[in-house]
Amino acid sequence: MAPVLNVGIVGTGIFARHMHLPCYEDLSDNFKVVAANNRTKSKALDFAKLAGIPESKVYDDLDGILNDKDVSFIDAMLPVQYNLPTVKKAIAAKKPILLEKPIAANLEQARELVKLAEATDIPVGIAENWLFFSVIAVAEKHLARIGPVVAFIHNSTAPCSTSNRYHSTNWRQHPEHIGGILSDGGVHQLGLLTSLVGEFDRVSALTRKVHDNAPSDEIVFSTVTLRDSDVIGSFNYGTDFAATKPSIYVKIFGKAGTVVVDLSDKKQPVVRVRIGDTAEDAGDEEVYPVEYDRSYGVKAEFMNFHEAVVKKDKTLYKGSPRRTFHHLAVIAALLESSSKNGNSVKVQQP
């Protein structure tokens, strides 16, 4: 049986309580949440009650939980400007660490984080759960059937929601991370898209607010080229529109057919395929429903990090700092391009 890893939670906010804790509990053959630390201790104590953590394992500070010998790894869910200082301490304490996305608040911090992570054997992972969507493997199988890819459209548009509990958090309302809501959710979109088509080279983008009082731009429309490739595409994203049906899809055009990954219905992801060089020789549309994952990839992400920690091999974890740097770097390039009225901007490397 796989060893049970003891998890120390740092940052016991909404996502810790409503997603990570239930996922660890569902994976009790592999994980046990044993310790917690949070800026506001009363909230850590509430979390501890929920998780069955004894009060003696609720720490006042990061050093306390990092030095707990019973803790196998840290799962940090903090406003992302704290990712870099938290990683520095975790590496010094030789504690593997999983950090929530985006990798950091800006590219300077992200670059330093990549450097630190690559200079140690301690696993450092970025929890971009969209990298773990099972729809990716299904799509990849069919991408192999449509010949060389020529172009793609990434469209992720949805209405704003006043009941979204995440939006009202103070650190999202006053973002220190570049892009605000655009990087918060945008890195997920980019994780999915680049898993399917490859990494971006240059972007030409315009970003805008939908709401005058929004803390940062909320929507982006852009054209894109891929690295070392002739493939072109568009990346359009915004989840703060007025009433509209959520429409989330990646459409990939090959020379011999088309693959569509459609996530518009959260509970019914689907891959649609049409094979044929022309309208005349097109086969019927093939539809491949993908099983609904209530954890949106989080459980698969945890199991992947588990493997990296148990085997002491950081390279096994898919959400490496280098890979996830790219997703934030694209957001930075989109913002820079928009500030230059849509001029073409090269995406920075770590």
List interacting residues with ligand NAP (CB under 6 A): 11-16, 38-40, 43, 77-80, 82, 100-101, 127, 129, 166, 169, 171, 184
81 contacts 292 by C-beta, under 8 angstroms = no
The minimum distance between CB 42 and ligand NAP, in angstroms, equals 8
For ligand NAP, give the closer residue by CB, 111 or 188.
188
Pairing of strands 73-76, 58-59: unpaired
Element (H, E) at 124: strand 124-127
Using the minimum distance from each CB to ligand NAP, give the nearer residue, 102 or 254: 102
Q: Of 226, 185, 237, which Cα lies nearest the Cα of 347? A: 226
Q: Among residues 38 and 337, whose Cβ is nearest to ligand NAP? A: 38
30 vs 208: CA distance, rounded Å: 44
Q: Which residue is at the shortest CB distance from ligand NAP?
A: 13
Nearer of residues 143 and 300 to ligand NAP, judged by Cβ: 300
Q: Residue 71: enclosing H or E segment and its boundaries? A: none
Instruction: Give the residue with the Cβ less far from ligand NAP, 224 or 332.
Output: 332
d(CA 23, CA 121): 26
CB of 184 to ligand NAP, least distance (A): 6
Sheet with 219-226: list strands edge to edge. 286-289, 270-275, 257-262, 247-254, 149-159, 232-241, 219-226, 200-208, 345-346
Closer to ligand NAP at the Cβ: 19 or 153? 19
Instruction: Count Cα neighbours of 266 within 13 Å in the Cβ-side half-sphere.
Output: 8
In whole angstroms, how close is the CB of 11 to ligand NAP at the nearest point? 4
Q: If we measure between CA atoms, which residue out of 303, 325, 322, 305 comes closest to residue 314?
A: 305
Nearer to ligand NAP, 189 or 258 (CB): 189
Nearest distance from C-beta of residue 284 to ligand NAP, angstroms: 36
Q: Quote the CA–CA distance of 8 and 48 in Å, as a whole number.
A: 11
| Least distance in angstroms from the C-beta of 95 to ligand NAP | 17
Minimum distance from residue 84 beta carbon to ligand NAP (Å): 13
Report the nearest approach of ligand NAP to the CB of residue 297 (Å). 8
> Is the Cβ–Cβ distance between 124 and 314 less than 8 Å?
yes
For residue 188, what are the contacts with CB-CB under 8 A and spacing of at least 6? 101, 128, 129, 130
Peptide bond into 102 cis (omega under 30): yes
Q: How far is the CB of 253 from ligand NAP (least distance, A)?
A: 29
Nearer to ligand NAP, 104 or 226 (CB): 104
What are the start-end ranges of the H helices in 144-252?
A: 170-173, 181-197
Nearer to ligand NAP, 221 or 305 (CB): 305
Shortest spacing between CB 100 and ligand NAP, in angstroms: 3
DSSP structure string for 281-347: T--PPEEEE----TTTTHHHHHHHHHHHHHTT-GGG-SS-HHHHHHHHHHHHHHHHHHHTTT--EEP
